[in-house]
């Protein structure tokens, strides 16, 4: 029995020592609109999925509906915490082309710095976003 316990304990210890921590982030596009001078701005919300993330960089390609690459870009967020105020961050890309209805954002890779300052690859969990409609019940009348 003692030998079985020792073997199980050693196995758990070795598995823990060699476990690979999978850092993950979530991302969704929350806004796409025209800005000044005909530039299209694409806004993203990015969040940590359980761990602190520092110096986040997400390499993306912007594609049209046919998969043709329009341009590349990098989304950057300085820090995401695993909880609290800094759990989410925002990043934006400007597109030289017009805002396309069927724009596709292709994540090439996502990296961040771990607690020792080494660059690590991140798993990216995209989330589709469908905005709600906004209705104004009563419009105030201007003062005459």
Evaluate if residue 98 carries a pLDDT over 80: no
Report DSSP letters for 37-106, one per residue.
GG-EEEEEEEEESSS-EEEEEEEEEEE-TT--EEEEEEEEEEEE-SSSGGGEEEEEEEESSPPPTT-EEE
**Domains identified in the chain and CATH numbers:** 22-117 (2.60.40.1620)
Is the dihedral angle over the CA atoms 28, 71, 81, 115 positive or is it negative?
positive
- Token digits of residue 92: 């934006």
State mean pLDDT over 37-49: 88
Q: What is the mean pLDDT of residues 36-57?
A: 87
Confidence of residue 80 (pLDDT cuts 50, 70, 90): confident
Say if residue 67's pLDDT is above 80: yes
What is the model's pTM? 0.74
């Amino acid at each position: 029995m003692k030998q079985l316990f020792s073997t199980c304990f050693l196995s758990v210890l070795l598995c823990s020592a060699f476990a690979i921590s999978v850092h993950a982030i979530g991302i969704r596009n929350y806004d796409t609109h025209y800005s000044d001078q005909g530039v299209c701005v694409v806004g993203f919300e990015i969040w940590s999925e359980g761990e602190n993330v520092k110096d986040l960089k997400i390499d993306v390609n912007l594609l049209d509906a046919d998969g043709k690459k329009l341009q590349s870009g990098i989304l950057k967020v300085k820090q995401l915490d695993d909880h609290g105020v800094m759990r989410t961050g925002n990043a934006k890309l400007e597109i030289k082309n017009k805002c396309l209805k069927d724009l596709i954002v292709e994540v090439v890779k996502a990296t961040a710095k771990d607690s020792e300052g080494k660059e690590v690859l991140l798993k990216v969990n995209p989330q589709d976003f469908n905005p709600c409609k906004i209705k104004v019940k009563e419009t105030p009348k201007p003062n005459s």
